[in-house]
Amino acid sequence: MIAIDRQTHWEDVYTTKAETDVSWFEDTPDLSLALLREAGLTPEMSVIDIGGGTSRLVDALEASGQAHVTVLDLSAAALKTAKARLANADRVQWVVSDVTAWTPDRRYDLWHDRAAFHFLTAVEDQQAYVRVLVQALKDGGKAVIGTFAPDGPEKCSGLPVARYDAESLRAVLGEQFKLAATRRHQHTTPWGSVQKFQFSTFEKVAEPERLGIRDLKLPG
């Protein structure tokens, strides 16, 4: 029931509001692009944008010739809007799904999430998200996750959010991820208010490294 309610909410948002009338709108996704490049983005990599909605990150990645991009969102209406801007984007896969219930059909080099995870306030949803992240990301792959900072808003789009700094987010993700970089960011909404975010980049660690056995010698 939780997933159905969540999907209904976001379908309503994207069918009743214009693209520029939501607080998370950006003309250009400059910070996301910078963070992905800092995480090692190269054209041959596969990238997934979680909760991509109508974000223009996919436009920028497709225009740069990214080999494969997946955009996942709860709202079919949001993805329809984004897809209409990129009618000939053969390298883009569009997935309508709740990330907590999604089964990946491939593994990705880079995972990007600008303010989707912080809407998951129930522990079971957070754990489900992490399970999917582990399945979807290659060993050594990077996850760039943005959430409201501890001094950021307590709600967004009428919904409560969970706020994080880098360490509290790392604790939720677990030992299979190590913190690679973090920064604070102030996002200005289309109507001029300021929202305080944190963006953290995590590397998925292979099993021997998680166990602290970096120089493990295997037979043969």
Give the ranges where the chain is alpha helix by DSSP (H). 2-16, 30-38, 57-63, 76-85, 123-136, 166-173, 207-210
Tell me the C-alpha to C-alpha distance, in Å, between residue 84 and each of 12, 18, 27, 74, 134. Answer: 19, 14, 17, 17, 31
Give the pLDDT of residue 101.
95
What would the pLDDT profile of 157-191 be if each residue is shown by its tens digit? Answer: 889 999 999 999 999 999 999 999 999 999 888 77
Distances (CA, A) of 30 to 35, 38, 65, 101, 156: 9, 12, 17, 30, 22
Which residues lie closer than 8 Å to 87 by C-beta, 6 or more apart? none
pLDDT of residue 4: 47
pLDDT at residue 209, rounded to an integer = 62
Q: Mean pLDDT throughout 66-81?
A: 95
pLDDT band of residue 3 (cuts 50, 70, 90) is: very low
What residues contact residue 84 under an 8 Å CB cut-off, 6+ apart? none
CB 87 within 8 A of CB 58: no
CATH of 2-210, one of 3.40.50.150, 3.30.360.10, 3.30.70.3190, 1.10.150.20: 3.40.50.150
Give me the pLDDT at residue 197, please: 95
Whether 128 and 157 have beta carbons less than 8 Å apart is answered as: no
pTM of the complete model: 0.88
- Pick the residue with more confidence: 57 or 88? 57
